[in-house]
Structure formats: C-alpha cells, structure tokens
A and B are shown apart, each in its own frame.
Chain A
Amino acid sequence: MSNRRSPMIGLVVLTILLVLMIPLRVLIDRAPDGSLGFAWPEASYASFRWMALAGGMVVGVALGVSGGLLQSMLRNPLASPYILGVSSGAGLGIMVGLYLASIGRVTMHSTFETIPAVLGALVVLGLVYAFGRRDRRLDPVTVILIGVVISTMCGAGMMLLQSLVPAGLRGEFLRWLMGRIPEALPMSTLMICTAITGIGLIWSIRIGRAMDVAVLPDDECQTAGVSIAQLRTLQFVLAGMLAAVAVTIAGPIGFVGLIAPHTARLLVGPTHRPRIIGAALAGAVLVIGSDVARQVIDLGHGRLPIGIFTALIGGPVFLWLLLSGRAE
C-alpha cells in the first residue's frame, strides 16, 4: 500500500473550505423576529460579524495547532488542548473571580472574566509543567496523569464555589462553560490573541521536522539530533499558550483540538509541517463552520452553544474521513 500522498491537495481542500466559510459567516443574518436572511450586513453591526469571524479564526487555529502539538508531545492520539487542565484552570479562575466579586458585592464585567481565566490557566500550566517532569524532561505519561488530576481538582473547586456564589452568578459561569464565539471583544484582546496565535503557528511549523523525528523512541530521537527535553518544553509552552488563547476568547470549546489534527493527518499526511498547517486550517473551518450553523439553526430558544455544533458537525465528518481512509 502506497502511503505517499501530496500534502498540497489536502491543504488546498481545507483552504477552499475556509474561504467558503468566511462569506457565509458575514452574510448570514438572523433577524430579531427569527427570520433568516442572506445579505451584506448594515454598517452598524457589520463589525460584530467581522469580530466573530476573526475570533472564530483565532480560536480554531489555536485549538487545531495546540492539539497537533500535544498529540505529538504526549505520544497520544487522544490528547487535546484541555488535557493539560487549561480549561478547568480557567474555569476555576473565573469561579474564584465571581466568588470574590460576590463577597465584595462588585459586579464583574464580562471583560474582566478574561483576567482570572488567563491566571487560572497559567497557574495550572505551571503546575503540570513542574510536576510532569522526570529525568530532567517532561514525561508524556506523567504529564497526562498530572493534567487529569489537576483538572479533576479544579472541577471539584468549581463545584464547591458554585454552591457558594449567588444563583444569579452561576448562570454567568454556565454561559462561559458552554463556550461561545463572541461578537464583541475588546480589540486589544483580539490583537494580543492573534499575535500569540500567529507566533505559535509559525514556531510550530518551524519545529515540524523535529516533531517527525520525535516519533522515534526518546534515545534514538536524542541521538538523531533532536533534544527531546527542549522539544517537549517548547511543545508544552506553545500548546499551553494557544489553549489559553482559545479559552480566553471562547471558553472551553470541545472536540476541535482533538479532531482537527487527525483531520489534517488524514487529508494532508503524517509529516508535521504540513500537518500543523492543516490542523490550523481544519480548526478554523470547524469553528467558523459551526458558528455559521449556529446562526442558521434555531430551535425556538435562540442560538445554541457552539460546542454542540463542533461535536455534531466535526464528529461525523471525522468518522467519515477515518472510515473511508481505513477502507482505502
């Protein structure tokens, strides 16, 4: 069985899909009376759509690349950006913020959710990094175990604080927990997140060949010329940073970071440079496509959380790719 395929074909397919999604997200209009329209938006709310599009693009790229880095680093095809505990750390950060605000009787503006979310994510990343090392390097199995343990502890902390904060604030938290692509986002936040994602993407492409070598066992990888300790640290920092970006903008959106790298592998092939680019494109297609579906589908209770669509659209597409690849 020949396994050599041109990565370019898969990249072109993903790029075309992304290009198709962009006008759809801008042009589809759901009016307040519930009717569906398809027109260039009026100037007064065009910026909201561009903001949602930009936010979705950044979140999709960040989750796709982060998942690709972690599946390589942890040598685990089930790894996703949230395996490091980033989302639960961010969630606990927000709950702590809400709890402190409720004690101080201060109203927490949604913008200020970002700061405790980022702090929570970074603290958890720091803990996983500190405890996930063996023999002076990050150990994949230890990182996974520490990530799961810390995520569970953060989950328990969130439940505890949920029972302590007033009922009204719980709704705020649940809204965050379901994930969303915001149509209004401070420009500074978007710019910082875009810059971090761009740096993360370029750096991940740069280490693509080293990630290819890292399929070898650690000793062979080291003697083939790749410092496995440095590579894993870099992968961890980049993946954590990108996951934190995604959580900052959108909260925890599941599934994208898991299946975007696999979709890229199936369409683009196994070498990491094209695969990372493919994962970025697949992530953006899935998030923006799900956001489009979210505008179109109305079950009478307003727009549904985006996480439902990333799983319901991404899951079957991924299964189809996987099973058709196996048949081939």
Chain B
Amino acid sequence: MTIALTASNVTVRFGSTIALRRVSASCARGATTVILGPNGAGKTTLLRCLVGSLRPDEGNVTLPGGERVHALSPAKLARHVAFHGQSRPMRTDLTVRQIVELGQFAVGRSIERVESVLDAFDLAGAAEQAFRTLSAGNQQRALLARAVAQLQADGVLVLDEPFATLDVAHVQRVVQVIRELRDDGQSIILTTHRFDLAHALADDVWLMRDGGIVAAGTASEVLRPERLDVVFGVPFQRVTTPSGAEWWQPASTSAAP
C-alpha cells in the first residue's frame, strides 16, 4: 500500500483539554478514508493536523517523502493538500467562479479546470452569481468545488463534513465527484455522520472516540454493531437496501415517527 499522509503519535491539547491522544494512522494513496465518531471525538482536530493548519503539541504528520506538513510553506503545502472545512467565509461579493478560482492561488490558474469543476458540482449556471446570495447548501458546493479546483495529481483532498448542508440530489452529485477522483488515483479523507455514505465511499474507516482512533480498517471490519453501540452510546441496527447493500446505522434514524 502506498501512503499519502502519515500521522505519528499526534497529540493536541487545548489548555487542559486533550483533543488528540497519540494518534497514529496512515492514509492510503488512491483511497477514500472516512473518519467517523461522535461529536468531540477529535475528527476536525485530526483533519486540521493532517492539513498542516494546526501544529500538534507532540508527534508529526508527514508526506511520503518524510516532510512534516506543518513545516512546509503554505504555497508548497497547497500542492499536496486541499482542504474544505466547516467554517464559512467572511461576507464577500465575489462570484461563485471567483470563489472556485481562489483554489488555484498557489497551484497555477487553469480556466479549463475551473470550468470542469463548476460542471462537476452543478454550478455552471450560478458561476457569475454572487457567492453570498446562494443558499447554505449551494455555498457549500461552491466551497467544495474550490477545494477540488486546488487538488493536484497525487494530492490529498481533505473534507470536513462535506455533506452537512446538501440536499439529496447534491449529496449524490458530490459522492459521484469523490468516486471519480478516487478512481483517478486521488486520495480523499473525509469526516461524516452519514453511515450510509461512509459505507458507500470508504476504502478505509477510522473510528474515533475521546481523541483517539479506536478502530481502523475496512468499513465491514470497523463498523460492527457491538463497537458502534459503545462508541456512539446508542443502539445500531442493520439496514439492507433492495440492491443487497447493507450497513449498520443508529436505530433511531430509521425508526418510524
């Protein structure tokens, strides 16, 4: 297995709170890694360390060549890692196209790339619209498109809750984009609370709780009901689709009202 990013003994403290405890994990190149865990498990903190925007108090995150991500200049790092977080931009009159173009600040401008990304995220019709006039879901798509426009060959796309505000149709659209990127050999790391999407997308799953990874492996290895019950504190039940796919998800989410 070729490695895209490696976290070694990463510890992060916020005052007296330990957000990450000696986390070690490797993200495979050309694979989709899904991080699951309850609120406060440390998922976002881990992502911030992986993309070099948060320097661990102990440990390192390294690229395949051994370079520590937080020691790279932002301009160099931008060629290896593209990130979409949960925060929203400041109020701006920039258009959707201009927002997507921001992804190419450090990697060189490509109009074709911007156009193809706008198409991929179903944003071509809204390209000249002011970003601030979009709905929350459409803003999220524009910001996801910006991160994808930055992504270089052999780069790692890191997405924190990419489906949080999307409607059903656009969840499918974004899932499709992620699959195509993975099929092209790109590496993707994402967090989500959607177990169905985790099953649909994940080559690897990292299950987190209390600042640590409690299990890592394929979805079927990691997402076992006895483990999920303990980690999330709610009962899980098996879901089977007509196509035969099955996964475990919280019993309450599929219960009739």
Which A residues lie at the B interface, using CB under 8 A?
A: 1-4, 75, 77, 209-210, 212-213, 215-220, 222-227, 265, 269-271
Q: How far is the CA of A3 from the CA of B103 in the complex (A)?
A: 19
- Roughly how many angstroms separate A223 CA and B81 CA in the complex, as a whole number? 7
Chain A, Cβ-Cβ closest to B130: A3
From B90, B93, B107, B143, A269 is in contact (CB under 8 Å) with B93
Min CB distance, A6 to chain B, in Å?
13
- Which of these, A2, A219, A265, contacts B53 with CB under 8 Å? A219
Of B78, B94, B150, B158, the residue contacting A271 (CB under 8 A) is B94
CB-based A-B contact count at 8 angstroms: 100
Q: How far is the CB of B168 from chain A (nearest CB, A)?
A: 26
Closest B residue, CB atoms, query A71:
B90
Given A1-B129, A215-B90, does the pair A224, B81 have CB atoms closer than 8 Å? no
* Most central of A1, A2, A3, A224 by chain B CB within 10 Å: A224
- B82-A223 in contact (CB<8A): yes
A225 touching B75 by the CB < 8 A rule? yes
Band of interface residues on B: 35 or more
A224's partner among B48, B78, B98, B130 (CB-CB below 8 A) is: B78
Known interface pairs A3-B130, A220-B83, A224-B150; 20 further A-B residue pairs with C-beta atoms within 8 A, sorted by A's residue number: A1-B133, A3-B93, A3-B129, A212-B94, A216-B143, A217-B88, A217-B89, A218-B87, A219-B51, A220-B87, A220-B89, A222-B53, A223-B74, A223-B77, A223-B82, A223-B158, A224-B82, A225-B74, A226-B105, A271-B98
**A274 → chain B closest CB, angstroms:** 12
Ranked 7 nearest A-B pairs via Cβ = A225-B106, A217-B87, A225-B78, A270-B93, A3-B130, A223-B83, A219-B53
Smallest Cβ distance from B224 to chain A, in angstroms? 33
Query: B101 to nearest A CB, angstroms?
Result: 9
Q: How far is the CA of A225 from the CA of B104 in the complex (A)?
A: 9
